[in-house]
Structure 1
């Protein structure tokens, strides 16, 4: 058990991503929470896919009651899982992530890098 605890990478929620995730329906929180835990222990969740336009950024999708919920994260910074954004996709046209969400993810990725440098130092 101690080996497992040592192997769990900490999760850092950037901005209000944790509050946003907590606002999801219970079934969605459970599904996304399980997937994030899998990432923490070094696995690749079945419902995680690379986010187009970003290197090293993935999204977890879950559908519930006709709606799609997403959590976006990165492990590109050594030893830490950064949850960048959690949102309900409301767009009815196409599957693309709306630009305002992409811009927010881009900003939070920069924020995660700054947090990482401040807490871990440059690699």
Structure 2
């Protein structure tokens, strides 16, 4: 009986001391500025299936900013049909950089994945 009492007292002591508040106050992260697309301003690309390795375009944007704790931001480049308001987009790439280049083959595959017919 003495051993059980000692075990219960030890367990209560461990639980009581392990519940101290050692979590530091953390700064809340708030939105600063959203990313803004710099280029291309307008895009008219011909996707020639004979040249899949040629550079089609490069997207460049400003970094998004957040106030508070430094945050790594993952950007997603999405592809969707005009007028669909990105309700069912296809994600073409994700990156932490502020630019992404695409070859003709990559954009052609994105168009096919988004449901555009093969021409």
TM-score, normalising length: structure 1: 0.29
Report the structure, 1 or 2, having the larger helix content: 1
